[in-house]
Chain A
Amino acid sequence: MPIQYQGILGEHLHTRQAVSVFDICHMGEFLLEADPVESGLDRILTQNIISMPVGSCRYGFMLNDKAGVLDDLVVYRINENKWMLVVNAATTFCDYKHLEKNLSGASRLEDISDKTGKLDVQGPLSLEVLKNIFGKQIESLNYYTFAKFSFEKEDCIISRTGYTGELGYEIYIANEYAKKLWNLLLKDERVKPAGLGCRDTLRLEMSYPLYGQDIDVNHSPLAAGLSKFVDFNKNFIGREAILKERDSGSLERLICFKADSRRSPRHGFTIFDRDKPIGMVTSGSFSPSLSAGIGMGYVSGDYPVGSRLLIKDNSIEIPVKVVKKPFLIKENFSKPSALKQSA
């Protein structure tokens, strides 16, 4: 998948205003046949999967016993005891090993990444475009649910999920059909291809974390401000460590900040409170929607919304203000009926 096709800014705005297709075939997918409790799956994941209805998806983490994030992932409940786990590309191998090690013998785990293609169709017109291809029943998909559809008689899974903050869908389909579907989507003149560059600016405007940058094995979901995806009422790997961290007051916190100018904070720049270095930028970019530099980073100490900080790198100095997440307020994309919002 390229960084850009026509240009990051144009692709970004097209996704916010119309609809784009992203080739996300690099992501990892596992199929798992397992009783959620007996297999130990529920103990491996931080999200409550027992309460998930069949046909729903749920976001959460796999942690190590120190509560460091091994990966963030979306779990799909295909039936009572059948699951699809969608994981990051770079962590697929280690995730598989971790699952294999912690699942009981009664489960069956299969890595289907190599044969599974994934196309994300994102933007306010995504429903209209997909209705033409998959039929009217796609309207019934609510946010974070999925269903089986067919394309040229081939089964595929479509979920109403995404990484952009727009109304959008993620399509899982066998590789050879993914290419055909890509070409068909681009025949619709409303659809444009979008690359990794704008995928990053779109997700950052929503303050969605990127694994390896904003979340990693050195930080817990608590430090990352993502504890709402952790069910503390169940037992899971890393629970003791994260509870200890919660009670002692976490050392570092992921904060969001917005520059006073168009200047971009970048990954690796240092965050200062006046003269004192307090942390590092994990993600930073120009926000096309806000026309300002935005970023996230871990800091030691308490810096509530409104705090003034300085981002520095050599001679570069970027004054910023701590802001609430997300950077961009987008409410429509997760409303129950996709129909109403596109009307």
Chain B
Amino acid sequence: MGIPGNLLYTKDHEWARIEGKNAYVGITEYAQHSLGDITFIELPKAGQELKQSSYCATVESVKAASEVFAPLSGKVISVNSQLSENPELINQSPYDRGYFFMMEFSDAAEKNNLMDVKAYEAYLESISK
């Protein structure tokens, strides 16, 4: 699966899709593949304040539980309510139907701490060696 060019990425394999003042957040194809079949997700609540690189969600697969970190600081506007009953959407469609939540980010300068697709691809290559 190709890595979308319009997203920003973290080293922990979260992505953010910027739409004006808002950002959609999820985990990457690489992350969902490493986790395996996802069976449970704990999402933040709407209205919750998040801090960049701090804990924001937990995903569990049959194999293990993993923490997910916020790619940007800001307030959660809405969460993907489909995921609680159908967490497999994260495996099937990590960049689209399997997004975690939408947030209003508070500091646009934080985007500079994230990678664009080229940098993320290079990063994936560096960790696969």
Contacts and interface: CB of A to CB of B under 8 A. Distances in A.
B87 interface: yes
B129 interface: no
Contacts of A285: 62
**For the side of the interface on B, what is the size category?**
10 to 19
A285 B37 CA distance: 12
B36 interface: yes
Interface in B40-95: 40, 42, 58, 60, 62-63, 65, 87-88
11 contacts: A8-B36, A8-B63, A9-B39, A262-B40, A262-B60, A262-B87, A264-B62, A266-B65, A286-B40, A286-B60, A316-B65
B36 A264 contact: no
B36 A4 contact: yes
Which 9 residue pairs across A and B have the least CB separation, nearest first? Answer: A286-B39, A9-B37, A262-B40, A8-B62, A263-B40, A7-B37, A286-B62, A8-B37, A262-B39
Nearest to A287: B39
Nearest to A198: B62
A4 B64 CA distance: 14
A165 interface: no
A296 B114 CA distance: 42
Nearest to B55: A315
Query: B37, B58, B62, B87 — which one has the most chain A CB atoms within 10 A of its CB?
Result: B62
Given A197-B62, A263-B40, 19 more contacts: A3-B63, A7-B36, A8-B36, A8-B37, A8-B62, A8-B63, A9-B37, A9-B62, A261-B40, A262-B39, A262-B87, A263-B42, A263-B60, A266-B65, A285-B62, A286-B39, A286-B40, A286-B62, A316-B58
Contacts of A117: none
B60 A264 contact: yes
Classify chain A: how many residues form its interface, as a range. Answer: 10 to 19
A156 B88 CA distance: 41
B13 to A, nearest CB: 19
Interface of A: 3-4, 7-10, 197, 201, 261-264, 266, 285-286, 288, 293, 316
Contacts of B87: 262
A155 B60 CA distance: 45
Contacts of B60: 262-264, 286
B33 to A, nearest CB: 10
Contacts of B88: 9
A288 B37 CA distance: 10
Contacts of A262: 39-40, 60, 87
A277 to B, nearest CB: 20
Given A197-B63, A286-B62, A264 B37 contact: no
A4 B42 CA distance: 25
A201 B87 CA distance: 18
Contacts of A4: 36
Nearest to A8: B62
A293 B40 CA distance: 9
A201 B58 CA distance: 21
A4 B61 CA distance: 13
Contacts of A263: 40, 42, 60
B128 to A, nearest CB: 19
Interface string B94-110: 00000000000000000
